[in-house]
């Protein structure tokens, strides 16, 4: 089999070489490239590949259809909305992801954003640097707050566990009720929006979740509440959220994901909204999670090469 990695997995060259050597010793061909968003370049690199490996680089249908030998796409990421799955179905290409590698890293950043917003960390940092005091910037504790987890997958449940450990009341919305620890109270979306001090999003992006948090949903939240999004950018209507923040409909937001991958246009509304903490899609990226991701993705690849399936998407 010819296996082509089309972007870096953010591990050391020595570690990548170890994974590559194991494949080559088993009789496979392995080629690795740096990320290039040009579909023509991607086709030139992968046109005779049996396996394509990517992380969160978009992979369009034109690339998938042009790779006539392609049998399998191994995605080193949890979300798969950046890959044209319709083209995969059309071409009979199997797909797996790296589910599980970023459960802790994403949950920890979500918690970090909650604490940052509650304690007004950017504002007190700026005040201290300017020679000021805490006056007018005394924050709140996470303990005792009602936190709504929207999406009870592995990341959502990891976030719920952290919030529970901080002494929060944890409520959750999942489209279909899901088996979860007893401390998680599962309610409707309207109920969790209305009851919670913090709403944290951990749902995938699909036809039912795109634009799920719009002006109507934001209006159902407490005016003192915070929204945290470490899921997918298009789950939230950014313009509506920026307007809600600027008008005081909700108190603040922590946003790690946007409609497009950073760098963002300087005019993006959330870069100018009140009381908003923004990060450039870093929730998944820790030293520990990158090592775990590589371990999972190559284990999944070896399973597929041996006729088994793990982390199946298609």
Q: Which two tokens stand for residue 84?
A: 């044209």
Whether the CB-CB separation of 203 and 173 falls below 8 Å is answered with: no
Q: How far apart are CA 161 and CA 183, in angstroms?
A: 9
Active-site position among 45, 104, 202, 232: 232
- Given the residues 185, 191, 261, 295, the one annotated as active site: 261
CA 237 from centre of chain? 16
**Cα angle, residue 62 at apex, residues 59 and 68 outer, rounded to 5°:** 100
Distance separating alpha carbons of residues 222 and 249, to the nearest angstrom: 8
Catalytic pick among 82, 164, 281, 302: 281
**Is residue 93 classed as helix, strand or coil in its secondary structure?**
coil
Phi, then psi, of 27 in degrees rounded to 5: 95, 10
Strand partners, 186: 172
Host H or E run for residue 252: strand 252-255
Is 261 a catalytic site residue? yes
- Cβ count within 10 A of residue 227: 29
Q: How far is CA 69 from the centre of its chain?
A: 30
Kindly list the catalytic residues: 232, 261, 281
């Amino acid at each position: 089999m010819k296996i082509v990695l089309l972007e870096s997995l953010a591990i050391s060259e020595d570690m990548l070489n170890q994974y590559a050597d194991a494949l080559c010793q088993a009789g496979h061909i392995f080629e690795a490239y740096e990320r290039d968003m040009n579909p023509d370049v991607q086709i030139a690199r992968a046109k005779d590949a049996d396996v394509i490996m990517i992380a969160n680089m978009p992979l369009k249908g034109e690339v998938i259809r042009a790779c006539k030998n392609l049998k399998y796409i191994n995605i080193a990421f949890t979300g798969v909305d950046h890959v044209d799955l319709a083209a995969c179905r059309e071409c009979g290409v199997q797909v797996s992801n790296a589910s599980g590698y970023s459960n802790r890293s994403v949950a920890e950043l979500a918690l970090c954003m909650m604490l940052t917003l509650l304690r007004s960390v950017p504002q007190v940092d700026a005040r201290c640097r300017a020679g000021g005091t805490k006056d007018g910037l005394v924050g709140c504790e996470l303990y005792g707050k009602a936190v709504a987890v929207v999406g009870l997958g592995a990341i959502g449940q990891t976030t719920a566990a952290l919030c529970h450990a901080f002494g929060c009341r944890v409520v959750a919305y999942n489209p279909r009720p899901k088996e979860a620890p007893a401390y998680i109270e599962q309610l409707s979306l309207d109920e969790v929006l209305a009851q919670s001090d913090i709403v944290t999003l951990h749902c995938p992006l699909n036809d039912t979740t795109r634009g799920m948090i719009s002006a109507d949903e934001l209006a159902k939240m407490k005016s003192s509440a915070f929204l945290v999004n470490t899921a997918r950018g298009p789950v939230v209507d950014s313009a509506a959220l920026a307007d809600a923040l600027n008008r005081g409909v909700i108190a603040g937001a922590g946003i790690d994901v946007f409609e497009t991958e950073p760098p963002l246009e300087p005019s993006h509304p959330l870069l100018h909204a009140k009381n908003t903490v923004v990060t450039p899609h870093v929730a998944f990226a820790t030293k520990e999670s990158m090592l775990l991701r590589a371990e999972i993705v190559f284990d999944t690849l070896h399973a597929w090469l041996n006729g088994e399936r793990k982390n199946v998407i298609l």
